[in-house]
Amino acid sequence: MRRREFIALLGGAAAWPVAVRSQQPAMPVIGFLNGQTAIGVTQLVDAFRRGLAETGYVEGQNVAIEFRWAHGQSDRLPALAADLVRRRVAVLVGTGGAHLAAKEATTTIPIVCSIGSDPVKLGMIDSLNRPGGNITGVSVFSADLEAKRLELLHELLPKGPSVGVLIDPKFQLSADIQLQEVQAAARKLGQDIRIVQASTESELDTAITTLVEMRVSALLVTGGPFFLRRRDRLVELTAHRALPAVYESHEFTRAGGLMSYGTTVPDVYRQIGVYAGRVLKGEKPADLPFLQPTKFDIAVNLKTARTLGLEIPTTILLRADEVIE
């Protein structure tokens, strides 16, 4: 064989693997949009990855994830969602209060989201069983969550003269329902309640100060993305005022809050991961029922209880799913 032909042959052989690699299908990309910060939801992102793995997808091996964080600034979500749409992600995941921004950003890219409201009443889907359109996910909204939280406070402080209730009036279509729930539960328990509202950082400070001036015995913080994003500030304010409070999720008790009652949030994120994987495999959001949690957990922070000089009733401790020492 002539030397020139031999060199050409070697050159072709060296180039062959590159050509083969270039013909491999591109790795699908999931756009992950969240209203919080990456540091605050590490455990939840891990749960999302576990859900993906259940369907055969592992980040870096056969799927990529583009993360976008709003760092508690909800006004940034629309631009972040639009950026993911421009990148032509295969699935758009909206969590941490990002569901509306995801919906407004695209009508064609499949969306899997978590939402704290009723998605039907919000007009996001046609029905829970048959969502229609390009959206599915998990709704953590339950008709009796706020009532159960008030019952916990009443059990903790049965002789408390009044309980403060903090509501975000801008929590779409849920604030009115939450108020109705709490008022009905208060009448049933014979519990006096005082309602305050907050939807900004400064309003939080004012609301807690107002409740202290009213001499409430405890505080019920209703569920919602704004309060979840401001959980550290809320826990700080209630601690400073020595005000016992019950919240919507374990994230609050782990941050130092007294008690929480709500859904197991990591499991919600795991299910979102499962749904994202199923969509990548070809299933349509329109055919995947919008899921609702069936299990709700109680968490108690005993360290905070001791600081407040409170003794948690055994009836609560025996039912608690998590007790923080």
Sketch out the chain's domains with CATH numbers.
29-141+264-294 (3.40.50.2300), 145-263+297-324 (3.40.50.2300)
User: What average pLDDT does the segment 69-81 reach?
Assistant: 91
Instruction: Using a pLDDT cut of 90, give the percent of the chain over it.
Output: 67
Best-predicted range by mean pLDDT (3-12, 134-143, 306-315): 306-315
pLDDT band at 33 (very low <50, low <70, confident <90, very high): very high
pLDDT exceeds 70 at position 145 = yes
Please give the DSSP secondary-structure letter assigned to residue 74.
Answer: G
Residue 314 has pLDDT above 60, yes or no: yes
Residue of 97 and 289 predicted with greater confidence: 289
Q: By three-state DSSP, how is residue 55 classified?
A: coil
pLDDT of residue 3: 46
Q: How far apart are CA 13 and CA 7, in angstroms?
A: 10
Burial class (CB in 10 A: 0-12, 13-18, 19+), 163: buried
> What whole-number distance in Å separates Cα of residue 57 and Cα of residue 113?
18
> DSSP per residue over 174-228, as a string?
THHHHHHHHHHHHHHHT--EEEEE-SSHHHHHHHHHHHHHTT-SEEEE---HHHH
**Distance separating the N- and C-terminal Cα atoms of the chain:** 79
Helices marked H in the chain — which ranges? 3-22, 42-54, 77-86, 99-105, 145-156, 175-189, 201-213, 225-229, 231-240, 250-254, 265-280, 302-308, 314-317
pLDDT band at 143 (very low <50, low <70, confident <90, very high): low
